[in-house]
Amino acid sequence: MFMDIPDEAVSFLRNIGEMAVVLLFFEIGYELNIERVKDLAGFPLYLSLLEVIFAMLMSLGIGLLFGLDVVSSLIMGISASFSSTVFTYKLLEDAPPSRNDVRELIYRVVIVEDIVLVVSLSIIESFLTKPAEPIMLLLPITLPLILFTVSYEITHKYLRKYVSNDDNSIILVIGYGLLLSYISAMLGSSPAIGAFLAGLSFSGTSRELVDKLRPIRSFTLFLFFISMGISFSSHDISTNTIIFAVIIAVILVAIHTIATLSASLIMSGLGILYGLEAGIYLSTLSELGLLVAYRGVQLGLIEHRYALSIPLAVLIASITSAFMASRKTHIVIKFYRKTPNTLRKTINIITK
């Protein structure tokens, strides 16, 4: 390690970090708004699923080529499959898309991917409690459905009327999120998915309340990343390990970019030009992939040198996506001109 940090401090940071994860998933659920779930069907759902399939297949093939086992390759694939909500929204602000339907599709896709990623993390974390029982894979699906049904009834009948944008409401929603995360953990599922369901139950109430929660979540999430860094630094990180991690990170970014652009061209419903533009905005890499890698290391499912590549991949993807978004018109036109007419017609027929 670079410095000698007391075990008590490391444990404290880890506990605070776990709370940050709970607040993060509560916020994701809160912003989703249960009333908009029906709008996620169709092209946004198909695009997200196709992107995940492409990324998982490529990661599996390359992982096996590098000597990884199937489980490790799939974890790397999950980390390379999703776009970052935070970075994507930032791109939309800094370099707005050409049309509103492109923006709306991007919003819906990142929401779908957040949901899929929550479920993925829930499945991975279920191994922490019952790793030896395959039947426990059913719990991340069945138990959350039951928990959400009960939670939705409670919040809509009793709690939602007390939610505004004051400090008491912050205490109420955070306390409720922590309660559901605890209940979810007690039932053998993921604490994160319990918090997500709590946020989903409260969604559509006070938008200002989310803005007040973000500074708390950002600070605790910062501490969580520090604890992750301390965990990784406890291993022997040589120059060769860093070089290896950078190479894997570049490969993951390439996989995610190819998967995103391909899925957007095929399933966006916007045609070749605007489908490619949507893919450029979605080429960011989700920071939640760090949680996937961290859980994988905790379970011994993946080596730390591979997990180390995930934060590097997130950083590289944020830089490359910002560059592509700033030059999106040039990139789209250049791609269009170099595409054979037959392929243009085929893609336009598929996407419309």
Is 339 part of any domain?
yes
Those residues with Cβ within 8 angstroms of residue 278's Cβ, 6 or more apart along the chain or in another chain: 97, 102, 105, 106, 109, 264, 268, 270
pLDDT for 16:
66
Is 243 part of any domain?
yes
- SS3 category, 64: helix
Res. 9 pLDDT band, cuts 50 70 90 = low
**pLDDT at residue 2 greater than cutoff 50:** no
* Of the listed ranges 78-92, 208-222, 277-291, the one predicted with least confidence: 208-222
Is 248 part of any domain?
yes
pLDDT in tens, 238-249: 777 778 888 888
**pLDDT at residue 348 greater than cutoff 70:** no
pTM: 0.74
Average pLDDT on 322-340 reads 83
Q: What is the dihedral of CA 285, 288, 291, 292, to 10 degrees?
A: -60
Is 106 part of any domain?
yes
Res. 1 pLDDT band, cuts 50 70 90 = very low
Is 1 part of any domain?
no
State the Cα–Cα distance between residues 343 and 67, nearest whole angstrom.
36
Burial of 185 (0-12, 13-18, 19+ CB in 10 A): middle
Is 309 part of any domain?
yes
State the Cα–Cα distance between residues 23 and 223, nearest whole angstrom.
13
Is 2 part of any domain?
no
Domain that holds residue 41: 7-351
Query: What does residue 340 show for φ and ψ, rounded to 5 degrees?
Result: -60, 150
Report which of residues 212 and 59 the model is more confident about.
59
- CATH number, domain of 276, equals 1.20.1530.20
State the Cα–Cα distance between residues 92 and 88, nearest whole angstrom.
6
Is 200 part of any domain?
yes
Instruction: List the alpha helices (DSSP H) in the chain.
Output: 7-32, 43-65, 70-79, 85-94, 100-129, 139-154, 167-186, 191-202, 207-233, 239-267, 271-281, 289-298, 304-307, 309-326, 328-338, 341-351
pLDDT for 276:
87
The answer to whether 263 touches 47, Cβ cutoff 8 Å, is: yes
pLDDT in tens, 288-323: 777 777 777 777 777 777 777 888 888 899 899 999
pLDDT for 137:
52
* Of the listed ranges 4-8, 91-95, 143-147, the one predicted with least confidence: 4-8
State how many domains the chain has: 1
**pLDDT at residue 127 greater than cutoff 60:** no
pLDDT for 17:
64
Query: What does residue 308 show for φ and ψ, rounded to 5 degrees?
Result: -65, -25
State the Cα–Cα distance between residues 43 and 219, nearest whole angstrom.
35
Q: How many CB atoms lie within 10 A of CB 24?
A: 24
State the Cα–Cα distance between residues 174 and 282, nearest whole angstrom.
30
**pLDDT at residue 8 greater than cutoff 80:** no
Q: What are the tokens at 260?
A: 């995103």
pLDDT in tens, 81-119: 888 877 888 888 888 888 888 888 888 888 777 777 777
Show the CA angle centred on residue 181, arms to residues 179 and 186, nearest 5°: 95
pLDDT in tens, 148-182: 788 878 887 777 777 777 777 778 888 888 888 88
